[in-house]
Amino acid sequence: MPWTLEDYPSSFKNLDEVVRKKAIDITNSMIDEGYSEDRAIPIATSQAKEWYDNASKKEIDEYESSGKPTKRSDAGKKYDSNPERLEEGEQVVSHEEGWAVQSTNAKQASDVFEKKDEAIKRAREIARNKGTKLTIYNQNGSVQEKESY
């Protein structure tokens, strides 16, 4: 079920309005990617609060004024169901535009960052949320570090 500002999980009711909106967006995206609502809701709540704590006033204001959370429908789902992607570890690899974050067997990156430490931070967040592994590679392709969550 796609959540909206009018219809959202009861656990979101005490969140600040902009945090609630962000949590709804994150929850809807996670559900589109195959997460169950039971897993997506607490993860999205945590990530929305973290985003709010770390975002600049300008970012928060821009997000708040950007309208309603992204409306999703079954017709627009990016993935039918991709549970195997949830079991894969994350990796940070060299990319032509900086450093990429991607699932182990993914054909393309989920995120690309200019700085390696930004990519590592995002990959750790994803790996922790999925309870999987993180492999960080050097620019030459050798393994720099492995972590398990």
What residues does each domain of the chain span?
A: 10-73, 85-148
Nearest to 129 by CA among 26, 39, 15: 39
Paired tokens of 17: 């309005």
pLDDT at 76: 42
pLDDT at 84: 52
Nearest to 84 by CA among 34, 147, 142: 34
pLDDT at 114: 93
* Residue 12: strand, helix, or coil: helix
Q: What share of the chain is helix, strand, coil (3-state, %, to 5)?
A: 45, 15, 35
pLDDT at 74: 44
pLDDT at 77: 42
Which residues face 137 on adjacent strands?
143
H and E: helices and strands count for the chain: 5, 5
Low-confidence ranges of the chain (pLDDT < 50): 72-81
Distances (CA, A) of 123 to 16, 25, 47, 75, 106: 27, 20, 14, 29, 14
pLDDT at 86: 61
pLDDT at 73: 44
Query: Using CA atoms, how far apart are residues 58 and 143, in angstroms rounded to an integer?
Result: 38
